[in-house]
Chain A
Amino acid sequence: MNTSTTTIDANIKKMDEQAKAGNMGVMKHLWLTAKADMIESLRSRWFMVYSGIFGSIIILLFVFGLTESRVMGFTGLSRLLIAYIQLTMAILPIFVLITTVRSVAGDREAGVFEYMLSLPVSLSAWYWGKMSGRFAVIFLPVITAMLIAVGVGILKGSDMPWAMVSYYSGLLLALSWCFLGIGMMISSLARSSDVATGAAFVSWLVLIMFLDLILLGVMVQEGMPMETAVSLSLANPLQVFRTAAMILFDSQLVLLGPTAYVILDNFSVNGYLAFALIYPVVIGTVAASIGYWKFKNSDLP
């Protein structure tokens, strides 16, 4: 055996020992994967469209003088934030679902997984790193657009609704994590990007369908107990966000009608606000964990 062989053997043995001792750092690999995914996403067309949409929403809200209008006593920045969160709730879930499943399942089809997973990176670091990087990339434009709006509002002399800004930031975070988790799960379960896209769209459609108060009204009319109908709607993360966004400016939930009694009796306002932050994060984490289990136990490329 020559000298170079001995050196290489020694290096490999050293690496093996470090790996066995756990010194290689799953966290380091997770961070490297997250960083790589962020760099990859920042150069993607979907990210430019995505950022452009949220930037445009804010610009349009200012251009159309929304801060000057008044709804249910709300004006200025509060009014703008209410409009922004409602629009975000309409756009973000479907955008996150479709872009996540297309890019993750697309990467698998295009051979990115085959190559990147031939490197000695652990599957947990790869999967959760990818999810973390993706989370940063989808959350940042949404929160940045909102913070820019707040900054501009302050410069224009509006009062700063700190409580609302903080809560809406948390709500956006929970919303992003929830749908990213669902997107990651669909990407792992579906073997092709076409199937994944279809499944993502159907999932979104089902959630939208159960947002429909008419549908819930029909259920109640057909004899379903009110509590069951409300529970069903509260299991829907989209409805949870919608109600939470509403409750900040309509604490009696007048807009919801009689269902408000069930919600307020069971939760109280503060309890519901907490539920609306925690529940979607749990849903996103559970969905992503199912995705990870499937990813880890099936063929990788």
Chain B
Amino acid sequence: MIQFNQVSKQFKNVQVLKNIQLDMNAGDRIALVGSNGAGKTTLIRCLLGQYNHQGSVRVHDLVPRENRELVLRHVGFVPQLPPPLKMPVEQLIDFSAKVSHADFDRIVHVAERLGLNTAELLKRPFVKLSGGQKQKLLISIALGRDTDILIMDEPAANLDPEARHIFFQLLSEKPKDTIMLISSHRLDEVAALVNRVIEMDCGEVILDDHVEDLVDMTSQLFCRIGVLKEEPAFVKAISEWGFTETVDAKIWEGVVAGPDRLRFLGMISRYAGLLSSITMNDGVK
């Protein structure tokens, strides 16, 4: 469905992409990882037909640069940084829905599932929303359309645990043959969402690997964490995951979205010396 054939991109004297050769097929859920300046955003912009480049990019056998409308009709995109648009949320949804031939109400419905109070937000300027609200809205616009390619740049970075769980659910509702390209600095942020990892460094693909795909995106883990004593930093961190204390702030309980397990364990590992017990049960309390 997507083919990069010897794609190179140069800005003045800096070679940002070097002979990228990639195929992305139906059903691929790809983590595009790499440090800043690795070339992730440039690769995405070439795919969206926004950059001139050497070599060729083809989406459904079409060149994005020459067939913008036809190609972009297939693509839902969530940028890393929300654009500073002053227009009201309602206008942004209306514009996006009309140019994409999507349904306004369907986008609003997705936004509400992600926890946005749209009745209150529709008249507010987009730029005045919080970081999390902007992210949820852009995800809603991308997921509220009929697309078979999703390109997301750090999509869940600003989402709270509850919204992340719903976001994973929404992804799981997309047809199985949808291509998802999820860009992130860190693999643990997106590892459980994907079945393929592409790592970039200095404009080159240095790793392209398929990974086990056993995690159900809609699954939830009931977790019970025991700690030796009350530690303010830990309390703050665990509370952000929506956990509540049960006994003298020494037992904490909460629910973690299945695809978020690695990220959660990464957080917990920072307090390893404080832990007395950990229980994680898939779907049962």
A in complex with B: yes
User: Interface residues, chain A, CB within 8 Å of chain B?
Assistant: 1-2, 4-5, 7-9, 11-12, 15-16, 18-20, 24, 28-29, 32-33, 35-36, 39-40, 43-44, 107, 110-123, 297-301
The interface residues of chain B lying within 8 Å CB-to-CB of A115 are 77, 79, 82-83, 138
The interface residues of chain A lying within 8 Å CB-to-CB of B91 are 36, 39
11 A–B contacts from the bound complex (CB under 8 Å): A7-B146, A15-B146, A32-B95, A36-B87, A36-B95, A107-B83, A110-B83, A114-B45, A114-B83, A115-B79, A119-B99
In the bound complex, do residue B99 and residue A32 qualify as a contact, i.e. CB atoms below 8 Å apart?
yes
In the bound complex, do residue B79 and residue A12 qualify as a contact, i.e. CB atoms below 8 Å apart?
no
Given contacts A12-B74, A15-B73, A40-B85, contact A301 B99 (CB under 8 A): no
A4 to B125, CA, bound (A): 34
Given contacts A11-B146, A118-B79, A122-B69, contact A43 B96 (CB under 8 A): no
The interface residues of chain A lying within 8 Å CB-to-CB of B88 are 39
A111 to B69, CA, bound (A): 20
9 closest A-B pairs (Cβ-Cβ)? A5-B175, A120-B72, A118-B77, A43-B86, A112-B83, A300-B50, A11-B146, A115-B83, A8-B146
In the bound complex, do residue B79 and residue A114 qualify as a contact, i.e. CB atoms below 8 Å apart?
yes
In the bound complex, do residue B79 and residue A43 qualify as a contact, i.e. CB atoms below 8 Å apart?
no
Residue with the greatest number of chain A CB neighbours at <10 A, chosen from B52, B95, B138 = B95
The interface residues of chain B lying within 8 Å CB-to-CB of A16 are 70, 73
In the bound complex, do residue B69 and residue A19 qualify as a contact, i.e. CB atoms below 8 Å apart?
yes
* B285 contacts chain A at the CB level, 8 A cutoff: no
Q: Which single residue of chain A is at the shortest CB-CB distance from B98?
A: A32
Residue with the greatest number of chain B CB neighbours at <10 A, chosen from A7, A32, A115 = A115
A47 to B84, CA, bound (A): 17
A123 to B65, CA, bound (A): 10
Known contacts A116-B83, A120-B100, A300-B51, then 7 further A-B pairs from the complex at CB < 8 Å, ordered by chain A residue = A2-B175, A111-B83, A114-B50, A119-B100, A120-B69, A120-B73, A300-B45
Q: How would residues 86 to 115 of chain B score, 1 for a CB under 8 Å from any chain A CB and 0 otherwise?
A: 111001000110111100000000000000
A39 to B81, CA, bound (A): 22
* B208 contacts chain A at the CB level, 8 A cutoff: no
User: Interface residues, chain B, CB within 8 Å of chain A?
Assistant: 45, 48, 50-52, 68-75, 77, 79, 81-88, 91, 95-96, 98-101, 125, 138, 146-148, 151, 173, 175-177
The interface residues of chain B lying within 8 Å CB-to-CB of A35 are 95
In the bound complex, do residue A117 and residue B50 qualify as a contact, i.e. CB atoms below 8 Å apart?
yes
In the bound complex, do residue A9 and residue B148 qualify as a contact, i.e. CB atoms below 8 Å apart?
yes
In the bound complex, do residue A111 and residue B79 qualify as a contact, i.e. CB atoms below 8 Å apart?
yes
Taking the closest CB of chain A, its distance from the CB of B195, in whole angstroms, is 17
A59 to B72, CA, bound (A): 50
Partner of B96, one of A1, A119, A299: A119
A36 to B93, CA, bound (A): 11
A241 to B164, CA, bound (A): 59
In the bound complex, do residue A301 and residue B84 qualify as a contact, i.e. CB atoms below 8 Å apart?
no
In the bound complex, do residue B86 and residue A118 qualify as a contact, i.e. CB atoms below 8 Å apart?
no
In the bound complex, do residue B48 and residue A118 qualify as a contact, i.e. CB atoms below 8 Å apart?
yes
A32 to B52, CA, bound (A): 26
Q: Which single residue of chain B is at the shortest CB-CB distance from A116?
A: B83
The interface residues of chain A lying within 8 Å CB-to-CB of B82 are 111, 115
In the bound complex, do residue B68 and residue A120 qualify as a contact, i.e. CB atoms below 8 Å apart?
yes
In the bound complex, do residue B75 and residue A2 qualify as a contact, i.e. CB atoms below 8 Å apart?
no
In the bound complex, do residue B68 and residue A122 qualify as a contact, i.e. CB atoms below 8 Å apart?
yes
Given contacts A15-B101, A120-B99, contact A299 B52 (CB under 8 A): yes
Taking the closest CB of chain B, its distance from the CB of A31, in whole angstroms, is 10
Taking the closest CB of chain A, its distance from the CB of B280, in whole angstroms, is 31
A251 to B253, CA, bound (A): 88
Given contacts A24-B69, A120-B68, contact A39 B87 (CB under 8 A): yes
In the bound complex, do residue B73 and residue A5 qualify as a contact, i.e. CB atoms below 8 Å apart?
no
In the bound complex, do residue A29 and residue B99 qualify as a contact, i.e. CB atoms below 8 Å apart?
yes
Q: Which single residue of chain A is at the shortest CB-CB distance from B173?
A: A4
A150 to B68, CA, bound (A): 48
The interface residues of chain B lying within 8 Å CB-to-CB of A43 are 86-87, 125
Partner of B73, one of A19, A28, A40, A116: A19
